[in-house]
């Protein structure tokens, strides 16, 4: 009887591990994906997967093109089906997304990492077909944290090569006090009205992130409709002449309360005045009333200036992220 029960348990486990992928539809699937990302972050306390606001920003980020129905095709949901149940109830075990042309992310449940090799094989097969169709040389890329030794071993065994340091994933402990700051005389920090202040807002963003030149009043308005957006956490530094010199936004996921500091920047004409540090500290001060569960910067720039800035405001827990690529 014991042997029979053990075999039945194994059969049930195998049945549960049958993974099926399906198309993603934002209106139907976002809440489930948000819950999946929040759950897996809570389980691992790492940034192996994105945090919810990173994913939501695919649709609401103001710096790129407007989200279209076809953009759903860049995202897929992987589910494990428990075939031991009549309902065959699905459970999300992974979410994959692509940034054209060739950068992929695999967000996977920590209890289902054995499925990652299968998912990679499927992604590679689809990407080869895409390269043939578009008459391009095959190249596929992904980002891996230096602490994810198992994932590095997996990709290395599949022919991927570790290349450049791409970014850092950073976390700020919740307990340390926030630095006091003082902006130069005549400067002020305030919330931005992305429609009323549109021209000045886009100008300072483009000075730091040129791709934000695609921002329109429509996409700026859409940005404020994201669930992570709070006007009092979208801040700018205003010069005595009224232009914008620096900016910092804290995106707060309302379900997990994970706070993401993004974007942050200072106009080149106003650097070395401490404005970046000041506007970040003001954002952190305002954030406290929302009682965040985590404060992080996934994808922080790896430049010397960025490292100095983020270290100075307490984001001292950091992990290097490298680009891995495969070309054959």
pLDDT digits (tens, 9 = 90+) for 122-166: 999 999 999 999 999 999 999 999 999 999 999 999 999 999 999
- In the predicted structure, residue 8 carries a pLDDT above the cut 70: no
Summarised one tens digit per residue, pLDDT across range 245-282 is 999 999 999 999 999 999 999 999 999 999 999 999 99
CATH number of 175-291: 3.40.630.30
Strand partners, 234: 249
pLDDT at 309: 97
- Reported pTM: 0.91
β pairing state of 258-266 and 140-145 = unpaired
| Domain residue spans of the chain | 2-138, 175-291
Radius of gyration, CA atoms only, the chain:
22
Dihedrals phi, psi of 140, to nearest 5 degrees: -135, 140
Residue 9 phi/psi, 5-degree rounding, is -65, -40
């Amino acid at each position: 009887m014991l042997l029979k029960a053990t075999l039945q348990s194994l059969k049930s486990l195998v049945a549960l591990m049958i993974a099926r992928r399906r198309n993603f539809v934002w209106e139907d699937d976002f809440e489930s994906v948000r819950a999946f990302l929040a759950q897996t972050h809570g389980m691992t306390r790492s940034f192996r997967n994105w945090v919810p606001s990173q994913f939501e920003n695919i649709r609401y980020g103001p710096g790129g093109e407007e989200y279209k129905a076809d953009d759903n095709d860049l995202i897929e949901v992987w589910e494990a089906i428990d075939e031991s149940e009549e309902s065959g109830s699905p459970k999300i075990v992974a979410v994959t997304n692509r940034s054209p042309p060739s950068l992929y992310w695999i967000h996977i449940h920590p209890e289902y990492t054995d499925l990652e090799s299968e998912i990679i094989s499927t992604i590679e097969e689809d990407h080869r077909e895409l390269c043939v169709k578009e008459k391009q040389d095959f190249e596929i890329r992904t980002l891996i944290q230096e602490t994810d030794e198992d994932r590095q071993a997996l990709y290395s065994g599949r022919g991927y090569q570790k290349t450049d340091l791409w970014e850092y994933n950073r976390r700020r402990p919740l307990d340390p006090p926030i630095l006091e700051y003082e902006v130069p005389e005549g400067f002020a920090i305030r919330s931005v009205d992305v429609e009323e202040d549109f021209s000045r807002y886009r100008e300072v963003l483009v000075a730091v992130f040129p791709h934000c030149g695609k921002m329109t009043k429509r996409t700026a308005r859409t940005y404020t409709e994201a669930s992570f957006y709070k006007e009092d956490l979208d801040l700018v530094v205003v010069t005595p002449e009224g232009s914008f010199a620096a900016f910092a936004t804290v995106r707060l996921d309302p379900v997990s309360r994970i706070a993401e500091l993004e974007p942050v920047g200072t106009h080149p004409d106003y650097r070395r005045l401490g404005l970046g540090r000041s506007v970040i500290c003001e954002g952190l001060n305002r954030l406290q009333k929302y009682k965040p569960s985590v404060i992080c910067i996934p994808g922080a720039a790896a430049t010397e200036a960025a490292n100095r800035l983020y270290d100075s405001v307490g984001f001292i827990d950091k992990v290097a992220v490298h680009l891995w690529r495969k070309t054959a």
